[in-house]
Chain A
């Protein structure tokens, strides 16, 4: 799964959802793979308003990617910042999480990721 997916996912445990710490999930022992995708600045600019920037910054740091600015760039700033465009492209569109775990910041539950597929099915005592 693409790293961008983490911007849409949260802990599957119902009682965690009301806490802001259940998002984003935290990668652990992550093995990454990279696809070669052509940079598409227009896509990144369009994507900007629907990203949760704070969560993305956390994910980027946790996966060892370059530090993102504290606040999201404006459209003009992003368009004129080749380095940021390239960093975002590489993180969001090219990087896949293949193996490892995704950990909830509230309950600590670890969701396994195998062959690029995270498993969000809960053991019966957590449903």
Chain B
């Protein structure tokens, strides 16, 4: 078992606290099945893999991946970036990753930083080798939006109120229809975001209708590259069975 990064400095009133879903990602990404796949996919003489986590929140997953790079990817020279819509999550992620990597200097990759943004909108196309996303997956009536007042104030560099930022916690879990409104945007962007050798690890809950989601990904058509490659989507980690259904699962999406 690789040690879980400490997030005791994170303000949990403003940033999602690591929970069962976060830990399922850690377990799945460090499982023999996953490390074997990753080390073969990114052989040591290939360019350093660029890892992006969307919505890193506390930074626990990104810190884990960065600090244990040589165990998880079988190479320490990975580059990692986090993008979150919540500015507090960005600062938390920076701190968590920096603290964790400095206590694992021999196994750590290179943390590029955290950026505040709307999913992948600020990325150059086709650069990401591994995208990790623990999305807002809870089915809800509406999809919350970042309050306009908050946005305006941030632009002027002013402090924001507690009430405004509390809204950010809702953004971290509320997923709209089927809990898939945000996840669907990410899935749709994969052909443009992932590199030739790119893949994604996506967390889904039972309410997201995971079998339908995987079918939809497999039907995204030609995945490009040499030969005829197709989109693959398989469950590679599960937790919490409920009435015969896996409550949470991790789906790996790749091209083959």
Q: Are A8 and B94 in contact (CB under 8 A)?
A: no
**In the complex, chain B residues whose CB is within 8 Å of the CB of A121:** 85, 116-118, 146, 151, 154
Per a CB cutoff under 8 Å, which of B77, B112, B113, B115 touches A46?
Answer: B77
Give me the interface of B with A, judged by CB distance under 8 Å: 45-48, 50, 77, 79, 81, 83, 85, 87, 90-91, 94, 110-118, 121-125, 127, 146, 148, 151-152, 154-155, 157
Show 18 A/B contacts (Cβ-Cβ < 8 Å), sorted by A: A1-B112, A4-B112, A5-B81, A9-B124, A10-B122, A43-B48, A46-B77, A48-B47, A50-B47, A50-B48, A111-B122, A118-B117, A119-B117, A120-B83, A121-B146, A121-B151, A123-B155, A124-B148
| Total chain A interface residues with beta-carbon distance under 8 A | 37
Per a CB cutoff under 8 Å, which of A8, A50, A116, A124 touches B81?
Answer: A8
Query: Chain B binding site: helix, strand, loop or mixed by DSSP?
Result: mixed
Given A2-B110, A43-B48, A123-B155, does the pair A117, B117 have CB atoms closer than 8 Å? no
Q: A66 at the A/B interface (Cβ < 8 Å)?
A: no
**In the complex, chain B residues whose CB is within 8 Å of the CB of A7:** 124
Given A93-B110, A117-B90, A123-B155, does the pair A12, B117 have CB atoms closer than 8 Å? yes
Q: How far is the CA of A86 from the CA of B116 in the complex (A)?
A: 30
**In the complex, chain B residues whose CB is within 8 Å of the CB of A4:** 79, 110, 112
Q: Are A120 and B90 in contact (CB under 8 A)?
A: no
Most buried by A among B48, B87, B113, B155: B113
Per a CB cutoff under 8 Å, which of A50, A93, A117, A124 touches B94?
Answer: A117
Per a CB cutoff under 8 Å, which of A9, A23, A47 touches B48?
Answer: A47
**In the complex, chain B residues whose CB is within 8 Å of the CB of A93:** 110
Q: How far is the CA of A120 from the CA of B81 in the complex (A)?
A: 14
Q: Are A112 and B155 in contact (CB under 8 A)?
A: yes
**In the complex, chain A residues whose CB is within 8 Å of the CB of B47:** 46-50
Give me the interface of A with B, judged by CB distance under 8 Å: 1-2, 4-5, 7-12, 14, 17, 23, 40, 42-43, 46-50, 52, 93, 96, 111-112, 114-124
Q: Are B123 and A10 in contact (CB under 8 A)?
A: yes
Top 5 nearest A-B pairs (CB, nearest first) are A1-B113, A120-B117, A120-B122, A50-B47, A12-B121
Given A5-B81, A121-B146, does the pair A116, B113 have CB atoms closer than 8 Å? yes
Q: Are B116 and A118 in contact (CB under 8 A)?
A: yes
> Closest residue to A96 on the B side, CB-wise?
B113
Per a CB cutoff under 8 Å, which of A10, A116, A118 touches B124?
Answer: A10
> Closest residue to A43 on the B side, CB-wise?
B77
Q: How far is the CA of A10 from the CA of B128 in the complex (A)?
A: 14
Per a CB cutoff under 8 Å, which of B91, B112, B125 touches A5?
Answer: B112
**In the complex, chain B residues whose CB is within 8 Å of the CB of A111:** 122
Q: Are B50 and A8 in contact (CB under 8 A)?
A: yes
Q: How far is the CA of A23 from the CA of B124 in the complex (A)?
A: 8
**In the complex, chain A residues whose CB is within 8 Å of the CB of B152:** 123
Given A4-B79, A47-B48, does the pair A123, B151 have CB atoms closer than 8 Å? yes
**In the complex, chain B residues whose CB is within 8 Å of the CB of A11:** 122
